[in-house]
Chain A
Amino acid sequence: MKMFRELRFLTALWKANLLSAMEYRIPFLTQVLGMMLNNAVYFVFWVIFFDRFDNVGGWGLRDMFILFGIVATSFGLGIFLFGNATSLADHIATGRLDYYLSLPRPVLLHQLASRSVTSGLGDFFYGLVSFAFAGQYGPQSIARFLLGAIFGAMIFVSFLTLVQSLAFWIGNASMIASQATNAIITFALYPITLFDGSAKLILFTLIPAALVGSVPAEFVRAFTWTQLFQIVGAGLVICTLSIFVFYRGLRRYESGSAIQVQV
């Protein structure tokens, strides 16, 4: 019952965010279409690369379409629905959690979903187009893609929450958080077969780029129980960990005592 109530609350927040973003039509469209074009131009790199070289570590152009599709869709979904995940550290450092603490809603959920990053919609739609280019139209492939994207979004948002929550302990963590975000996206966009040994271990744990990129991409190509377990298990573990760390850190939170108006 409580879960449904929070879900209704979330839906209302997302609706308000979308309407608010669409209020300014031209900037909204520029951001969405601009991001799609931005990603497409970036992908030209792989088109040129595979025109010159057959494959890299067993991955070809079609695999890269799936990889970009899954990463862009999950990242876009994550930052559109939980856009404040990118500014959590700033909110903590500047005492702007006061607003959320004073309301009868889960603090973390409310804070994360209170803002949508409009360009995330561009990433989301680009990801779907990229997946369409891969040509895997079977219902099972589509279902695996959706599952991978949803858990990918969960891992992205949880990872952002984790690193941004460092602000409870070290104060200004915006720069570390921004670098961690860049790192997970950068590594996620390359096949995991490029890396070995300790690098691979890092990409499955400390910076879980493989779990939002290569692993779900391989899962879309062909079903395996191992990959399903890795995606779902990692999603649930990192999500639980991020909630635990945030609320643990919240005990150390010091109010900014600032008068704020939430618009």
Chain B
Amino acid sequence: MAISVWLLGGPVASVRVRAPAMRTRTKYSKKMVIKNRLGFHVRPVQRFAELAGIFRSSIEVEIDGQRVSGKSMLGLVSLGGRCGSVMRITAMGEDARQAMGVLSYLVDQNFFVEDDLDKEKYPDRHITRLVTFASCFDSNVWVVCRGKKINVRDNEGLLSLGLRPTSRVEFLAEGLDSMQARQVLDTLASYQFYVEDEMGARARQKAD
């Protein structure tokens, strides 16, 4: 971006300002344990690869000395991660921190696989997922639903929206990582926030 400096009615200098933050190459690495009963099967892998694919950074996953791209379903399935396997996620690039935030939350939450989840206990898990994903980004993020626009940091406002996993929502984001933030949240909403009963219900309607 070029900024001209004016003095006594005329330009005297032109200063080039570098865009901050997102230009910096960074590397983040984290070891995590796969906790879900069926291991790193297709559902976890699909969710991981799709979210990883949103980021510009390179993302690698290593299990038992075998390392593959975190954006490739085929590569990730070939790791054969089981319940208890240790995976190392490495993200390198301008949005590595944001990628690591999103992906490590996904792994920590058993990839949102709900086979063994006590669903009654977490009726608002779709909102928790939305807020946590949004908090991985520096951008300001708003949810637009039923004509209302609410900042995701506004807890009371968010609850007042009466957001359901199947609600039609739109996300607005403003900041250096707004594109990735919107894509991550759009993906989340497109899968009914990974609330699997709702995803299943939609599939049943289609199949029956």
A binds B: no
- Residues on B facing A (Cβ under 8 Å): none
Q: Give the interface of A toward B (CB within 8 A).
A: none
